[in-house]
Structure 1
């Protein structure tokens, strides 16, 4: 039986992953997180990747380690948390892995390591992060690679770089967009022809499960579900599922939207409050973010087609009632 230690397993992706893995009788699942698991409290031990002693006291010997822990919001304060959690956390996990004879680490990084990347960027794309999240995630990748290189014939490192992840029970950027459309208050910024790569949480969890049995070496993959919607197509699809007219009315020019975002940046700085609108969010909304991936070479096939995943999420959140289920706040 394989013992699998999931760092950050109480969150959105982790909870979906644990749900998949607990259906397999040959896995012994353990969750390690700074917050208790609302879905699997019996499997969870509270610890913090920033505290190496707490990791040493809890992580089991010779387990497969999946690191989902991250500091990732756009507005994290203090900003040093990005380094403390993403970089120092990676170093602490590697040190404990050495001491506990852990031979496999699966690390969820991010396509944010590429920054505002050219269309179709694959795993060999130029590393050019534009924010602290992408920068510190790439630094963490290098720490994990150094750990693997110490015993390259014995150690397995899987680096997964997902694009924006959405799904039922999530309260991140995709949910906020869907909620605006559902409420009828959505305002399109720009011409809507920019395209977005997306990833459904169930499919990402399935690929993490798929990668558990990879052989020694370094395996790096972007994670994307295809096809890539334009914003116009995405909005139209949401409205169609909700039974709303698909036509998009007034469009706010990008220059005006970005200026408004700057005003909200100033307001946030003055008040110290986290606001839903910012210049970086306007910029990301209007940018193309289209990636390609070599995942097909592993034999993996996503279990849920993207169009069906989007429809399931919309129905779950805005048509059906699921008030008894926990929700997860992320970006």
Structure 2
């Protein structure tokens, strides 16, 4: 991992992925600047709890700031002069983007542009962009490879992530910034956002309520444990790019059917529930499946957490 103490700025630092990354960085002795606006997409108290353990640590600086506030973001970068930026802040979620695409464009595209402009101004050494498997859209070729064309997004959220990658590529080229985009595949584990499927399903199962399934339950997702995601980010932070821009899939490369996921959750929790079948939702893709050969070859990335093991960890956290 990073050979010397680095100053790392993490946007979306109080969120699910960001807070786990910060735990790792603080534990290794790095200086961390966490930028988060604590918006109301889900309960802000959850985000405060995610990073509360580090408040008061002299190596941790929490800044409440909206990435859409261009002048404020620029000043934060000028004041703190980070060595590395990990840009995770975004409006998340496919389905909400269908009803409010302008908000997703404002945050995920214009907000990312603000971050990139500020990064270029301070001549940052390394920039990591948190992208998504959603960029592959309804690509019929599986598993998804980084070389696949990104021409079939089926949600505004996916389109904004493609736009974010394109902006990163252009800034890497124009400003000679070492830039890596990481396409995350269905992240789960302790602190998972409450709107995500595993979290929602587990709560319903624990309450002995029916679990809604959109479609026939045959859709598949490449569920990736949060510890493996953080490992992928850290490996990317250490990677010495032979050129200015690179993209990697960070996934588990083992897609699981939705009905199988529910069965495993029932087994881990110890409660059987009834499935409530609903019509397929617009914006949902039938499968996500990461081809991780490139990340394995260049980053030495290898996910190690089987889904059942990760579900036990998540359920134990949820039951606390």
Same fold (TM over 0.5): yes
Equivalent residue in structure 1 for 2:34, among 31, 35, 58:
31
Relative to structure 1, the CA distance from residue 188 to residue 133 in structure 2 (aligned partners, 3 Å threshold; closer, same or farther) is closer
Q: Counterpart in 2 of 1:156?
A: 178
1: CA distance, partners of 2:72 / 2:214: 46
2: CA distance, partners of 1:58 / 1:316: 34
1:300 counterpart SS class: coil
Q: Counterpart in 2 of 1:299?
A: 300
User: For 1:206-245, what aligned pairs fall within 5 Å after superposition?
Assistant: 206-216=231-241, 217-244=244-271
With structure 2 as the length reference, what TM-score do the two structures score? 0.82
Q: Which moved more, 1:287-296 or 1:108-117?
A: 287-296
1:5 to partner: Cα distance: 0.4
1:221 to partner: Cα distance: 1.1
Unaligned runs of 5+ in 2: 39-43
Relative to structure 1, the CA distance from residue 96 to residue 305 in structure 2 (aligned partners, 3 Å threshold; closer, same or farther) is same
Question: Cα deviations across residues 79-129 of structure 1 (Å, max 9, x unaligned)?
Answer: 321121111112111211121121211000111111122231211122121
Q: Counterpart in 2 of 1:67?
A: 87
1:157 to partner: Cα distance: 0.8
2:168 counterpart SS class: helix
1:306 to partner: Cα distance: 2.9
2: CA distance, partners of 1:240 / 1:58: 47
Q: Counterpart in 2 of 1:146?
A: 170
1:313 to partner: Cα distance: 0.9
User: Is 2:302 aligned against 1:308?
Assistant: no
Relative to structure 1, the CA distance from residue 251 to residue 109 in structure 2 (aligned partners, 3 Å threshold; closer, same or farther) is same
Larger Rg: 1
With structure 1 as the length reference, what TM-score do the two structures score? 0.79
2:28 counterpart SS class: coil
* 8 A contact 2:8–2:83 mirrored in 1: yes
Q: Which moved more, 1:287-296 or 1:8-17?
A: 287-296
* 8 A contact 1:116–1:289 mirrored in 2: no
Relative to structure 1, the CA distance from residue 226 to residue 314 in structure 2 (aligned partners, 3 Å threshold; closer, same or farther) is farther
* 8 A contact 1:123–1:221 mirrored in 2: yes
* 8 A contact 1:8–1:69 mirrored in 2: yes
1:177 counterpart SS class: helix
Q: Counterpart in 2 of 1:49?
A: 67
Relative to structure 1, the CA distance from residue 289 to residue 44 in structure 2 (aligned partners, 3 Å threshold; closer, same or farther) is same
2: CA distance, partners of 1:231 / 1:137: 24
Q: Counterpart in 2 of 1:11?
A: 15
Equivalent residue in structure 2 for 1:197, among 222, 230, 235:
222
The alignment of Structure 1 onto Structure 2 pairs a total of residues equal to: 288
* 8 A contact 2:120–2:175 mirrored in 1: no
Relative to structure 1, the CA distance from residue 179 to residue 116 in structure 2 (aligned partners, 3 Å threshold; closer, same or farther) is farther
2: CA distance, partners of 1:90 / 1:187: 34
